[in-house]
Amino acid sequence: MPHVTVLSKGARITAGVFCTLFLLNSATWLAMDIGEYGFGALWDSWTGLGPHIDGAITDPYAVGLLAVQLGAVWAAFTGARAAGGLLAVATTLTFTAAVQVFISTGQHTSDNRWFIGEVNTDTDTFLTVFITSGLLILFGLVSCIVVVSGLRVWPTRRPSDPPMRPLPAAAVTGAVVFGLLALCDAVWNVSVLLQDGVGSLDVIYLGHGILSALTSLGPGWSSVTFLLMSAVAGLLCVARGVSARGFTTGLALVLLPTSLLGMIAALAGGSFFELGQAPAFQGILSRLLMVVELLGSIAVLALMGRPGAPVAEEWSPPAQPGMPGMPGAAPYGMPGTQPYAAPGQPQPQPGYAPQPQSGYAQPQPGYAPPAQPQPGYGQPAAPAPGYGPPAMPQQAPPATPQAPPMPYGAPQAPPNPPAGGFGPPPQG
Q: How many structural domains is the chain composed of?
A: 1
pLDDT attached to residue 249: 95
pLDDT attached to residue 421: 46
Q: Is residue 319 part of a domain?
A: no
pLDDT attached to residue 399: 54
> Where in the sequence is the domain holding 90, given as residue range(s)?
4-308
Task: Assess whether pLDDT exceeds 50 at residue 428.
Answer: no
Residues 164, 4 contacting (CB under 8 angstroms) = no
Task: Assess whether pLDDT exceeds 50 at residue 38.
Answer: yes
pLDDT attached to residue 398: 54
CA–CA separation, 48 and 269 (whole Å): 7
Residue 11's alpha-carbon distances to 22, 140, 149, 328, in angstroms, are 16, 14, 8, 38
Tens of pLDDT, residue by residue over 186-237, are 999 999 988 887 778 889 999 999 999 999 999 999 999 999 999 999 999 9
CA–CA separation, 164 and 240 (whole Å): 9
Residue 228's alpha-carbon distances to 116, 177, 399, in angstroms, are 28, 14, 109
CA–CA separation, 181 and 97 (whole Å): 19
Select the more confidently predicted residue: 13 or 367.
Answer: 13
Quick one: how many helices (H) and strands (E) in the chain? 10, 4
CA–CA separation, 115 and 108 (whole Å): 8
Q: Is residue 158 part of a domain?
A: yes
Average pLDDT over residues 262-270: 87
Select the more confidently predicted residue: 264 or 414.
Answer: 264
Q: Is residue 342 part of a domain?
A: no
Tens of pLDDT, residue by residue over 54-69, are 889 999 999 999 999 9
Average pLDDT over residues 339-364: 51
CA–CA separation, 337 and 325 (whole Å): 12
CA–CA separation, 33 and 59 (whole Å): 10
Q: Is residue 380 part of a domain?
A: no
Q: Is residue 142 part of a domain?
A: yes
Select the more confidently predicted residue: 178 or 117.
Answer: 178
pLDDT attached to residue 312: 67
| pLDDT band at residue 31 under the 50/70/90 scheme | very high
Q: Which amino acid is at 347?
A: Q
Bridge partners, 165 (sequence order):
309
Task: Assess whether pLDDT exceeds 90 at residue 105.
Answer: yes
Q: Is residue 316 part of a domain?
A: no
Residues 310, 240 contacting (CB under 8 angstroms) = no
- DSSP notation for 207-258: -TTTBSSTT---HHHHHHHHHHHHHHHHHHHHHT-TTHHHHHHHHHHHHHHH
293: part of which helix (H) or strand (E)?
helix 280-304
Q: Is residue 253 part of a domain?
A: yes
Average pLDDT over residues 272-284: 78
Selection from 5-19, 87-101, 294-308, 332-346 with the highest mean pLDDT: 87-101
3-state secondary structure of 33: helix
350 cis-preceded (ω within 30 degrees of 0)? no
Q: Is residue 399 part of a domain?
A: no
- DSSP notation for 404-426: PPPPSSPPPPPPPPPSSSSSPPP
